[in-house]
A and B are shown apart, each in its own frame.
Chain A
Amino acid sequence: MQPVVLSRVSKTYHLDAVDVPALVDVDLEIRPNCFTVVSGPSGSGKSTLLNMIGCIDQPDQGEVFVAGEAVRKLSDDALSDFRARHIGFIFQSFNLLPVLTVFENVEYPLLLARVPAAERKQRVDSLLEAVGLADRAGNVPGQLSGGQRQRVAIARALAPAPSFVMADEPTANLDSQTGAAIIELMRRMQRERAVSFVFSSHDPKVLAAADDAVMIRDGRIEKVERRTPPAGTPA
């Protein structure tokens, strides 16, 4: 599995007449198969950095390489297909489709990736079993608690077997106990499924659970802590 590489990435937002630099000349490598947390104060550029890595936003300058591909060169359709294959998303507000059942929500990315029906069912059942929601497959999101919804979101993010999962403050809308359980679940899924998780979070519990911690301030990378040895290296 290849790392995500950001090379001299800059992004400036233009708000009315004011230019707001969100990322300035960022060089960063996200190691594969790691639990990486991006941390920093509000407005530091965490979300923008995650958007770049998640290929839902493009840098003004620099290059982002995901799964060995320079994503700036991809067309919008190619980028959509790329996200469907390689990237899972977990959102702060869960962002499940309210008209779909739990099963259908998890199945949706597999439909976009054109996975055959039998395989879809097998993968969705397996994921719902893994996140502990096999018995709620027929429920719609409105019938679930916040924690359950985020579990569905995790299952949805993992459904297409992505290279890595982006999670923008996934515990911000959950109470601390549920948040801790969600962190634990994601950690477990990351290890079991050998997938990279990239978070943005203020939560110290999330930071404590990270393999790598990226500190960002004013759009610049302040510090990168590699807390665990690279994958495949003996501990």
Chain B
Amino acid sequence: MNTLRLALRNLLRNRRRSLMTLFAMVIGAVTILLFGGYARNITYGLQTGYVRRSGHLQIQHKDYFLYGSGNPAAFGIVHYQHVMDVVAHDPVLAPMLRVVTPTLSLGGIAGNFAASVSRTVVGTGVVVESQNRMVQWNDYHLPFEIRPVALSGTPDDAVIVGIGVARVLQLCKALDVPNCKQPESLPAQGPDTPPDIAALAAEAKPAGTTSGGEPRIELLAANVHGAPNVASLRVFKAVTQGIKEFDDIYVGLHLVQAQRLVYGADPPQATAVVLQLEHTNQIPAARARLQELLATTLKDEPLEIQDFEVLNPFYGQANNLFAAIFGFMALLIGAIVLFTVSNTMSMAVVERTTEIGTLRAVGLRRSGVRRLFVCEGALLGLIGALAGVALALILAWLVNHSGLTWLPPGQVDPTPLTVRVWGEMRLITGCALGLIVVASLSAWWPARRAARMNIVDALRHV
């Protein structure tokens, strides 16, 4: 009769009490696992969104991230094609890479002069084929709908704009943007237009639409020499970005068009070389290799590497928020389990006082008594953890197959509500081990009390 078997039989002695204790632990385990699975799903969802949009790593001109945003002239990567070639053909990096593609960000003013409206925007020039490959990245097998980027199949002078940009530039009707009401015309502010300018405006071709009825905007940006440059671009679509601040400034355009606007006849540059890896956990290895390359083969140009977490601070903030909520919940549940098991074990010690005296009299050491009660607590924890994990897996399966949808932060379309418990070994083992440890610790104090009992007093206990 080893301690474990004796502990198990003792637990079965007062089944109702043991069941109630287990019930509390199972509820706790299920809560932790379901919330953990839900939070994990959000983390993976956010990560997938960011990695699809901006890759895992970006090679940028040194200090571009801190000082160069919107200033591609000063912070462009001159030999970006060479950088891409070196990276793509590196024997260490190549097996990890899915996509290597350049992007060019620029700040400018988009105007719809037919409506006499304009606003500042941030344009992003991309290679459409590469972006289409990037949006297929789904390392966590999330049930997101994969759609090609809106610029697919469009000519070089095509752009897409955020809903906010379309709204301000009064393109909603032309672009068939739903739920986008045009404002009532406001009285003109300021002094009257000088007569010569008014005459010029009257002569100008009405902007905002082409003769074929296509909506157009004029995009004004500073070129590499600091002079203003304007491109007349066809707006193909207004696309929601999920976050209003992005919607209000976003203009997506083809890389060649963006380069033409900024660099004109000069050699084109890019503000970032985007690297999308096969798996997120390859980031440290890829980054280490890139650092080597930047220090050797690519040392002629001042470059640095940023990962998607740095580029998208909201990812870390959201994770920290969920980690804080998860930690608070786990602490609360741990405290409940602690007191429940402690109470159960204390009652067991009182009920079995005579038995403790008998065991000590026949030769069981104090440590043996302590071990017996701690073992009972640990067994309660183990059984509670196993039952909790099993129930959480069942409930997660039911939720995942319920067809419920929700709109995750930063997403545009509703996605199926899923709770990721199955396969999350760190979450499951962490929760199970945590419960076992807490249950064992809860039993420690009553066990210590039992072990320190005076044998004679214990034998006299009625």
CB distance from B367 to the nearest CB of A (A): 8
Contact residue among B354, B355, B361, B364 (Cβ-Cβ distance under 8 Å from A89): B361
Report how far A89 CA is from B358 CA in the complex, Å: 9
Contact residue among A57, A93, A104, A113 (Cβ-Cβ distance under 8 Å from B363): A113
Report how far A160 CA is from B355 CA in the complex, Å: 19
A83 engages B362 (CB within 8 Å): yes
Given A95-B355, A97-B355, A99-B9, is A56 in contact with B364 using a C-beta cutoff of 8 Å? no
B1 engages A111 (CB within 8 Å): yes
B363 engages A97 (CB within 8 Å): no
A98 engages B13 (CB within 8 Å): yes
- Dominant secondary structure at the B interface: helix
The closest CB in chain A to the CB of B362 belongs to A109
B360 engages A56 (CB within 8 Å): yes
Task: Identify the stretch in A73-81, A128-136, A200-208 within 8 Å (CB) of chain B at 4 or more residues.
Answer: A73-81
CB distance from A108 to the nearest CB of B (A): 6
Specify which chain B residues have a CB less than 8 angstroms from the CB of A113 in the assembled complex: 363
State whether the Cβ of B365 lies closer than 8 Å to any Cβ in chain A: yes
Specify which chain B residues have a CB less than 8 angstroms from the CB of A97 in the assembled complex: 6, 355, 358-359
State whether the Cβ of A190 lies closer than 8 Å to any Cβ in chain B: no
CB distance from B334 to the nearest CB of A (A): 30
A84 engages B362 (CB within 8 Å): yes
Report how far A93 CA is from B355 CA in the complex, Å: 11
A91 engages B360 (CB within 8 Å): no
A81 engages B354 (CB within 8 Å): no
The closest CB in chain A to the CB of B13 belongs to A99
Specify which chain A residues have a CB less than 8 angstroms from the CB of B359 in the assembled complex: 97
Q: Mark B351-390, 1 if CB is under 8 A from A, else 0.
A: 0001101111111111110000000000000000000000
A51 engages B13 (CB within 8 Å): no
State whether the Cβ of B459 lies closer than 8 Å to any Cβ in chain A: yes
B6 engages A99 (CB within 8 Å): yes
Report how far A91 CA is from B460 CA in the complex, Å: 11
State whether the Cβ of B347 lies closer than 8 Å to any Cβ in chain A: no
Which bracket fits the contact residues of B? 20 to 34
Contact residue among A80, A85, A88, A98 (Cβ-Cβ distance under 8 Å from B360): A80
State whether the Cβ of B118 lies closer than 8 Å to any Cβ in chain A: no
Specify which chain A residues have a CB less than 8 angstroms from the CB of B365 in the assembled complex: 76-77, 80-81
State whether the Cβ of A151 lies closer than 8 Å to any Cβ in chain B: no
Most chain A C-beta atoms within 10 Å of own C-beta, residue among B6, B13, B362: B362
Report how far A224 CA is from B179 CA in the complex, Å: 108
B1 engages A56 (CB within 8 Å): no
Specify which chain A residues have a CB less than 8 angstroms from the CB of B291 in the assembled complex: none
State whether the Cβ of B456 lies closer than 8 Å to any Cβ in chain A: yes
Contact residue among B9, B354, B364, B456 (Cβ-Cβ distance under 8 Å from A51): B456
The closest CB in chain A to the CB of B2 belongs to A111
Report how far A192 CA is from B365 CA in the complex, Å: 30
Given A89-B361, A95-B354, A99-B9, is A56 in contact with B455 using a C-beta cutoff of 8 Å? yes
A81 engages B363 (CB within 8 Å): yes
State whether the Cβ of A107 lies closer than 8 Å to any Cβ in chain B: yes
Specify which chain A residues have a CB less than 8 angstroms from the CB of B368 in the assembled complex: 112
Given A57-B455, A107-B1, is A100 in contact with B9 using a C-beta cutoff of 8 Å? yes
Given A56-B456, A95-B355, is A83 in contact with B361 using a C-beta cutoff of 8 Å? yes
The closest CB in chain B to the CB of A89 belongs to B361
Among residues 53 to 112 in chain A, which have CB atoms less than 8 Å away from a CB atom of chain B?
A: 54, 56-57, 76-77, 80-81, 83-85, 88-89, 91, 93, 95, 97-100, 104, 107-109, 111-112
State whether the Cβ of B400 lies closer than 8 Å to any Cβ in chain A: no
State whether the Cβ of B343 lies closer than 8 Å to any Cβ in chain A: no
Contact residue among B10, B13, B459 (Cβ-Cβ distance under 8 Å from A91): B459
State whether the Cβ of A156 lies closer than 8 Å to any Cβ in chain B: yes
Specify which chain A residues have a CB less than 8 angstroms from the CB of B367 in the assembled complex: 77
CB distance from B350 to the nearest CB of A (A): 16
Given A51-B456, A56-B455, A57-B455, is A99 in contact with B363 using a C-beta cutoff of 8 Å? no
B362 engages A112 (CB within 8 Å): yes
Specify which chain A residues have a CB less than 8 angstroms from the CB of B363 in the assembled complex: 80-81, 83-85, 109, 112-113, 160
Contact residue among B1, B13, B360 (Cβ-Cβ distance under 8 Å from A108): B1
Specify which chain A residues have a CB less than 8 angstroms from the CB of B9 in the assembled complex: 99-100
The closest CB in chain B to the CB of A100 belongs to B1
Given A97-B358, A99-B9, is A76 in contact with B1 using a C-beta cutoff of 8 Å? no
Specify which chain A residues have a CB less than 8 angstroms from the CB of B364 in the assembled complex: 80, 84, 112
Specify which chain B residues have a CB less than 8 angstroms from the CB of A112 in the assembled complex: 362-364, 368
Specify which chain A residues have a CB less than 8 angstroms from the CB of B358 in the assembled complex: 89, 91, 95, 97
Contact residue among B6, B357, B366 (Cβ-Cβ distance under 8 Å from A77): B366
CB distance from A58 to the nearest CB of B (A): 10
CB distance from A81 to the nearest CB of B (A): 7
CB distance from A43 to the nearest CB of B (A): 13
CB distance from A27 to the nearest CB of B (A): 22
Report how far A227 CA is from B382 CA in the complex, Å: 59
The closest CB in chain A to the CB of B363 belongs to A84
Given A84-B364, A99-B13, 8 additional A-B pairs, CB 8 A: A56-B456, A80-B360, A98-B355, A104-B1, A111-B1, A112-B362, A112-B363, A113-B363
Nearest first, the 6 A-B pairs at minimum CB distance are A84-B363, A99-B9, A95-B358, A56-B455, A112-B363, A80-B365
State the A residues within 8 Å of B (CB).
51, 54, 56-57, 76-77, 80-81, 83-85, 88-89, 91, 93, 95, 97-100, 104, 107-109, 111-113, 156, 160
A-B contact pairs, 26 of them (CB 8 A): A54-B361, A56-B360, A56-B361, A77-B367, A80-B364, A83-B362, A84-B363, A89-B358, A89-B361, A89-B362, A91-B459, A93-B354, A95-B357, A95-B358, A95-B459, A97-B6, A97-B359, A98-B13, A99-B10, A100-B1, A100-B6, A108-B1, A109-B363, A112-B362, A156-B362, A160-B363
